[in-house]
Amino acid sequence: MSLIGIDLGTTFIKAGVLDLERLQLKQVLRVPFPSALRGYPTLYREFDPNSVLAAVKAVLRDITPYAGDCEGVVMCTQMHGVIFTTEQGEARSNLTTWQDQRVLEAHPSGTGTYFDVMKSRLNADEIQQLGNELRAGLPIGLFFWMAERETLPEQNLIPASLADFVIANLCQTCPSVEVTNAMALGLLNLETLNWHEAVINKLSLTGLRLPEIKAQNAVSGWLDWNGRQIPCYPPIGDYQCAILGALLRRDELSLNISTGSQVSLLKPRAEFGNFQTRPFFDGQFSNTITHIPAGRALNALVKLLSELATAQGVELSDPWAYITQAAAKVTSTKLKAHLAFYSSAAGDEGAFTHIQEDELTVGHLFHAAFQSMAGNYLAFARRLSPDQAWNQIVFSGGLVQKIDLLRQLICDAFEAKYRLSPAEEDTLIGLMVLGLAVTGRTSNVAEATARLSEAYNVEQVA
């Protein structure tokens, strides 16, 4: 028997057949995520939700022949997206994603941005209880922006996560939300795992009809599958799903490195500090620091170095092959890099220093960039755990799995062993872990993780 796993990512919508008996990921299909709507101000980022729904239906249709007697659907989603819907799941707004920054517009009071005003209304304890996640791009900021402009939708509309909107439409049911996606709205009290009523009142958001929070093994709706009704389980956040797919244990440090990157440690209970706190599974939490410069910053360098060729009409077929080879040939460099070319956990001003003529090469440039990344990860990991309470590093994400030098520089900085996530499709493997638990094949997520760990032989370290 199998499940269908669906990952609503930022770049692609993926579907895979999850064989829960053989613990194998079978047919995987993907379609591009629809493009953002045009004509909006620079800080806005909106998408047509019905285009997303159509893409999901298309990938479901195409994977049906491979799924056999499918017994259910599990799903993860890019976090922090929100759509206002009716009780039947019909969209009454566009999809606004984590990339939307309109909360950084000037507040009419003249006391800063909408974000500044919103943050000033909350105390330190409340911000911690929200997971220390308060930043631009979260739905809480969009809600506040609407409330201050008196454009908050009427009470009969529900702010749904992207995946919950999709399930509501596929199953003709009212949108609900699982705790990891509830946290992504920015209004969850991590001490109670319920909506934070004090924050809602302070931000004048009492007009919001927030969705019902459901357990991970509940059923969000029933999908008609070739004449049978199969369950759709509550979608989870892609961050938590990627950690599940890495088969992370409490004695391991997760480094997920791709376009962006995060460092994470699992904890048995909620802890608050100079980091973000996020709900996980089986009553656990993760301490994490996100938005650490990675692939996006490196691509900015590639774009710079390719500019002259592009201006001459020359398209570089594979600049990364030369970059990784040249960087690997450099044994040491005095060149120093700081990759904060955009607002991130490392700041919002990048720099290169200690530049010498003989080191002003692609190899030295990227060797320095990789060293900077390694230093960032060590500094942020020590912020999570000053006593470095981990036995090894678990690498996940496409960037770190492809660049050997980056892994080596990180391990040299940490003086630690590592292992790789067992598969590149980490979110789909994470959905397999979830599927084992929600279908009752294991008693909880930890047992499912242990079963997959044995199947994938993840005990071996480099």
Domain CATH code at residue 219 = 3.30.420.40
Per-residue pLDDT, 288:
95
Asked whether residue 436 is assigned to any structural domain, the reply reads: no
Q: Answer for the pair 192, 172: CB distance below 8 angstroms, yes or no.
A: no
Q: Which of the two residues, 225 and 204, has the higher pLDDT score?
A: 204
Mean pLDDT of 159-181: 95
Q: Categorize the per-residue pLDDT at 226 as very low, low, confident or very high, splitting at 50, 70 and 90.
A: confident
Say what percent of the chain tops pLDDT 90: 85
**Burial annotation 46-78 (CB, 10 A radius, 16+ → b, else e):** bbebbebbebbeebbeebeebbeebbbbbbbbb
* Residue-number span of the structural domain to which 137 is assigned: 2-238
Q: At what angle do helices 362-384 and 319-329 cross, to 10 degrees?
A: 80
pLDDT by residue (tens digit) across 385-413?
Answer: 999 989 999 999 888 989 999 999 999 99
**Residue 6, number of CB atoms within 10 A of its CB:** 28
Tokens found for residue 128: 């911690």
Give the separation between CA 422 and CA 418, rounded to whole angstroms. 12
- Whole-angstrom CA distances from 284 to 139, 175, 289, 444 are 24, 25, 17, 12
Mean pLDDT of 413-431: 92
Which residue type, as a one-letter code, is found at position 66?
Y
Give the separation between CA 399 and CA 339, rounded to whole angstroms. 16
CA 50-56-61 angle, 5° bins: 125
Answer yes or no: do 172 and 216 share one domain. Answer: yes
- DSSP one-letter code for 275: B
Which residue type, as a one-letter code, is found at position 206?
T
pLDDT above 70 (res 130): yes
pLDDT above 80 (res 461): no
Q: Categorize the per-residue pLDDT at 194 as very low, low, confident or very high, splitting at 50, 70 and 90.
A: very high
Per-residue pLDDT, 342:
85
> Which of 238, 271, 306 corresponds to the end of one domain?
238
pLDDT by residue (tens digit) across 71-113?
Answer: 999 999 999 999 999 999 999 999 999 889 999 999 999 999 9
Asked whether residue 197 is assigned to any structural domain, the reply reads: yes
Answer yes or no: do 11 and 109 share one domain. Answer: yes
Asked whether residue 457 is assigned to any structural domain, the reply reads: no
pLDDT by residue (tens digit) across 257-284?
Answer: 988 899 999 999 999 999 999 999 999 9
Q: Answer for the pair 107, 115: CB distance below 8 angstroms, yes or no.
A: no
Q: Categorize the per-residue pLDDT at 169 as very low, low, confident or very high, splitting at 50, 70 and 90.
A: very high
Asked whether residue 9 is assigned to any structural domain, the reply reads: yes
Answer yes or no: do 11 and 42 share one domain. Answer: yes
Mean pLDDT of 346-360: 94
Per-residue pLDDT, 459:
64
Mean pLDDT of 134-148: 95
CA 89 to chain centre: 24
> Which of 192, 213, 238 corresponds to the end of one domain?
238
pLDDT above 60 (res 336): yes
Which residue type, as a one-letter code, is found at position 231?
P
pTM score, two decimals?
A: 0.90
- Whole-angstrom CA distances from 250 to 8, 76, 101, 300, 425 are 27, 22, 34, 35, 22
Mean pLDDT of 308-316: 93
Per-residue pLDDT, 10:
86
Per-residue pLDDT, 216:
85
Which residue type, as a one-letter code, is found at position 149?
R
Answer yes or no: do 263 and 341 share one domain. Answer: yes
Total number of domains constituting the chain: 2
Kindly report the average pLDDT of the chain as a whole number. Answer: 94
Answer yes or no: do 193 and 271 share one domain. Answer: no
Mean pLDDT of 283-298: 94
Answer yes or no: do 281 and 223 share one domain. Answer: no
Say what percent of the chain tops pLDDT 70: 99
Tokens found for residue 262: 């995060």
- What are residue 279's DSSP bridge partners? 285
The DSSP-derived string for 138-206 is SHHHHHHHHHHTT-PPPTT-EEE-HHHHHHHHHHT---EEEHHHHHHTT-EETTTTEE-HHHHHHTT-T
